[in-house]
Amino acid sequence: MNNIKTDFTIKDLENLTGIKAHTIRIWEKRYQILTPERTNGNIRYYDTKNLQKLLNVSLLNKYNYKISKIAKLSEDSIVLIARELASKNSLVDDSINSFKMSMFSFDQALFNQTYNQLLINKTFRDVFKDVFIPFLNHIGLMWQTNTLTPAHERFISSLISQKIQINTESIQQNLLLDDSQVFVLYLPENEIHELGLMYLNYELSLRGKKTIYLGQSIPEDNLNSLMAMFSKINFVTSFTVSPVDSAVDDYLNTIDDKLKNSEHELWVFSHRISDQNPKKYKSSFSFYNGLFDLLKVL
């Protein structure tokens, strides 16, 4: 099991806050904003409390609080002012900052407070496109720099998925279905990154389409029973980590064999299939570089 990341380098802090390491060192030395620990090799490292404080300090500083004034504030005052600023200003950067704080402190209340504040001026679709997508992209960058752990990512993904499910259910309760086309949404075996697929389910529901949501890690042979029930299915899937690059061709060929001589189709949205030509397959395949490329054709 991966341990929850609780120690951060100064480069981690730079990646998370956008504040240059040089500036962090100056604030630390001149104003004692942070209180790092040191390794046996005399290298600074920072705990979660320091990270949370720096995120709050960066928000105050953005709204013209001078660092010399911030340094004189108590820890509680910094948190209080930061939350007030986040509540009054529904700007994307501020919201993403708040979501980062909620992720690293596992603070569901802060996540919901930030989300509800965004809904005052935005629709759920706007929140997803304008805030959640940039935030999730930022999480991807943090993965690359080893700044967060699976525990952080799964916590925040769970909260975002809850919001998608709530909004999807709200639509489906009063939905007049278009049964002429059935969309089966699923992910290949060992693929668990489903937020994009969940959001697509929401968008299809908005359009009155009949969807069957299967979700994560579905073996190919599980599609057989659906094919026997419906004469025309649009199977929709996405590749994030699975199948691996060397297995993509084999996977698509397997699905091609299943769907040939039928009215069924396969749609795949993933940047990993940009070099694939759908015309080389016997079945009807459509490839999209990402979720929003697919949404343009709906």
Q: Are residues 43 and 82 in the same domain?
A: yes
- What's 204's domain CATH number? 3.40.50.280
Q: Are residues 26 and 158 in the same domain?
A: yes
**Structural domains in the chain (count):** 2
Any domain includes 207: yes
Contact 35, 27 (CB under 8 A): no
Any domain includes 248: yes
46 backbone dihedrals φ, ψ, rounded to 5°: -125, 145
Distance CA 168, CA 212 (A): 13
Q: Are residues 115 and 212 in the same domain?
A: no
Q: Are residues 96 and 125 in the same domain?
A: yes
Any domain includes 2: no
So what's the pLDDT on residue 100?
A: 87
126 has which bridge partners?
none
Any domain includes 263: yes
Q: Are residues 157 and 189 in the same domain?
A: no
Of 166, 189, 212, the residue that ends a domain is 166
Distance CA 295, CA 298 (A): 5
3-class secondary-structure state, position 264: coil
Any domain includes 201: yes
Residue where the block lists tokens 């908005």: 206
- What's 77's domain CATH number? 1.10.1660
Any domain includes 1: no
Any domain includes 285: yes
Of 122, 138, 166, the residue that ends a domain is 166
Any domain includes 52: yes
Long-range Cβ contacts of 67-72 (<8 Å, 24+ apart): 67/27, 67/31, 67/33, 68/31, 70/31, 70/33, 71/27, 71/31, 71/32, 71/33
3-class secondary-structure state, position 8: strand
- Domain range spanning residue 160? 7-166
Mean pLDDT for each 10-residue chunk of the chain (298 residues)? Answer: 66 83 92 88 85 85 90 90 69 80 88 92 92 84 66 92 95 75 94 93 92 94 92 94 90 94 94 87 93 90
So what's the pLDDT on residue 136?
A: 86
Instruction: State pLDDT tens for residues 58-107.
Output: 888 888 899 999 999 998 999 888 877 766 655 677 788 889 888 888 88
Instruction: State pLDDT tens for residues 17-34.
Output: 878 899 999 999 999 999
111 backbone dihedrals φ, ψ, rounded to 5°: -60, -50
Q: Which two tokens stand for residue 256?
A: 């091609």
Q: Are residues 52 and 77 in the same domain?
A: yes
| pTM beyond 0.75 | no
Q: Are residues 133 and 256 in the same domain?
A: no
Q: Are residues 24 and 72 in the same domain?
A: yes
